[in-house]
Chain A
């Protein structure tokens, strides 16, 4: 066994010589584990039996040439250890009879390329080397020191493996600056596991953990006491545990903000909109990202509703409680929809307040449906007159139901009409 090992490592030494293909330096020991040196030797011994059967992920192309690759892949890091045996045995050039059948296969292959062996006379694989020289052979590391992608590290790092099993999109995270390095530096048992357990304790579903980390990887580097303090603060504001869990699931950045900031935001919504605490809790529970983003766009939206669109304060309150998304909507789209509703469709303010979801729809949808009804003579939005079409049904019904019930036409007619606009 040891002599076989010696012969193999001699071949490996030849293959590691400068004249050989550079590919071998790139052929890394993909399967080396983070175990001690002694285990690595054990690796080499038990792996030899398997090398013909295994195909690695990265070596699809390489395995067609250089059949010795298989053994050297296992032995590049073991070269150092295997040469220990070399010094102990009487290594001779060829001992085919003593080799197991498996090694005869590889030896035979090496004999088939005698020109390569003859080519380098300085470092032949069959020459004996001293122990010092053997120790001096530099072994390339199995993982690159720097890379733009986490692909090379995922199989080696326990943290990354467990994150992929949780469902975290590493390909999206590695694009963000510094996130990849941060994830690699984390230790699973010390950093990641306690925080995941904390999230589970507050009631977050297992299936959502992947989503949360994909959107907010910094939760894994947040201090546990701070996280606990923020959850306690929310509970002190009379948010139930299930509400807190659902808020954290839907707004992954929520627990990264300090208690002061959360308090500031809740106070703003309560005072500015003059809502009761129950209503504030309601809108924040339904749209938790209100607590995460900046307050400037919300203030601008409120000003737009008041001045440009001409809504009164109680109307704005009612609309916000019914559809909180109005606070974070795009101002241009909001004004465009309102302009079409009020000036083209001639819908008065009180009807828009009654159906605020109409401000949340896509403009094209509203326009096409209104023009279709107008063409058919059915565009009647006054509740006092016959043939009334309510705004919420106009925008929220799916296409077939809209065509069938409101317009009394077929879907194909609707599509044909769209092509005449």
Chain B
């Protein structure tokens, strides 16, 4: 309709992503964003109050009117429409969360406002993958696979080499590719399956077990090492369990110190808003940028929504690029 608050709200409808800090529940993030958006929308200047004519007792007692009491007409504002009586125009905004992150993980968290919720649902109905960076450590095994849990076992890790690591990774990747083919809903011995596999579109539709479409060790310095994972239908606890199992495969033990999501579908770290930018103006700007990007991507016709499940080779190239970016920024910081 017409009011400035409603116009501001329409500008705030869409998708955007934030960087969730570790140690904060995702619901708190969502509530903080909702509060900030409400502040922004209700800060717009209010509509002027409608007036009505009322008959107030006239102070002038000389006038003689049939009936006795003198009245005069006055135009007074209708107080039942005053914002202190009705409350602010917006008291609730529908903010939805995409794939959730648990308390100790950090990273890209996609949020949708208003009509953007429908767009987000449609986006997730097509197969999107997520990128994670796992900081891990050899030498101990804990109850909940993190470094702060109760220690169950300690072991040596001196015998682990990069080569053994790569062998274990290859074995895990093979198992996951097999799961990918198994959970896709096409018959493996058909022409259709071959064509889909050639394009890289083979995969489960909807719910399935967590599948890692790509796994790579980017940094290896015992006891610490870093893994980069691309996966679908995962939970952060599953990823920590994968690290634990890798430790077991290498005849040692490993825990996950930190899980960080670097990409969720088309949203990457670059687009994520940090805590200081969780205001209505910044959110509106982020949404606008996402819309432009989507429009320009659609025009160029490079990646359609369906072909998002990439082959391991493509994901390796993309993640190498991400890694190069991160190393460049870190080098830049160190120079100062």
Which residues of A362-407 are within 8 A (CB) of B? 363-364, 367-368, 375-376, 399
- Decide: B81 and A33 in contact? CB cutoff 8 A: no
> Within 8 Å of chain B (Cβ to Cβ): is A133?
no
Majority SS at the chain A contact face: helix
Task: Choose one: A46, A152, A364; the contact of B24 (CB below 8 Å).
Answer: A364
Given contacts A38-B69, A39-B68, A46-B73, contact A150 B52 (CB under 8 A): no
- Decide: A417 and B333 in contact? CB cutoff 8 A: yes
Interface size, A (range): 35 or more
Compute how far the CA of A404 lies from the CA of B329 in the bound complex, rounded to whole angstroms.
18
Compute how far the CA of A196 lies from the CA of B244 in the bound complex, rounded to whole angstroms.
68
Given contacts A31-B55, A35-B69, contact A154 B19 (CB under 8 A): no
Given contacts A38-B68, A46-B71, A416-B329, contact A155 B56 (CB under 8 A): no
- Decide: B69 and A31 in contact? CB cutoff 8 A: no
- Decide: A152 and B80 in contact? CB cutoff 8 A: yes
- Decide: A421 and B71 in contact? CB cutoff 8 A: no
> Within 8 Å of chain B (Cβ to Cβ): is A168?
yes
Majority SS at the chain B contact face: mixed
- Decide: B106 and A154 in contact? CB cutoff 8 A: no
Q: Which of B33-41, B117-125, B214-222, B271-279 forms contacts with chain A?
A: B271-279
> Within 8 Å of chain A (Cβ to Cβ): is B50?
yes
- Decide: A419 and B274 in contact? CB cutoff 8 A: yes
List chain B residues, Cβ under 8 A from A55. 50, 52
Number of A-B contacts (CB under 8 A): 118
CB distance from A276 to the nearest CB of B (A): 40
Given contacts A42-B67, A167-B84, A418-B19, contact A33 B54 (CB under 8 A): yes
Which B residue sits closest to A365, measured CB to CB?
B275
CB distance from B246 to the nearest CB of A (A): 23
Q: A20-60 interface mask toward B, CB cutoff 8 Å, 1 = contact, 0 = none?
A: 00000000001101011011011101110010011111000
- Decide: B81 and A171 in contact? CB cutoff 8 A: no
> Within 8 Å of chain B (Cβ to Cβ): is A164?
yes
> Within 8 Å of chain A (Cβ to Cβ): is B193?
no
- Decide: A399 and B52 in contact? CB cutoff 8 A: no
Which A residue sits closest to B277, measured CB to CB?
A415
Task: Choose one: A54, A368, A376, A416; the contact of B52 (CB below 8 Å).
Answer: A54
> Within 8 Å of chain A (Cβ to Cβ): is B87?
yes
Task: Choose one: B69, B80, B274; the contact of A418 (CB below 8 Å).
Answer: B274
Interchain Cβ contacts under 8 Å between A and B, 25 examples: A31-B53, A33-B56, A36-B69, A38-B68, A42-B66, A46-B55, A46-B73, A47-B55, A57-B80, A154-B85, A155-B78, A155-B80, A160-B79, A164-B82, A170-B84, A170-B85, A171-B85, A171-B86, A375-B333, A415-B277, A416-B329, A418-B274, A419-B272, A419-B274, A420-B326
The 8 residue pairs across chains A and B that have the minimum distance between CB atoms: A171-B87, A42-B67, A57-B78, A38-B67, A39-B69, A151-B80, A54-B53, A38-B68
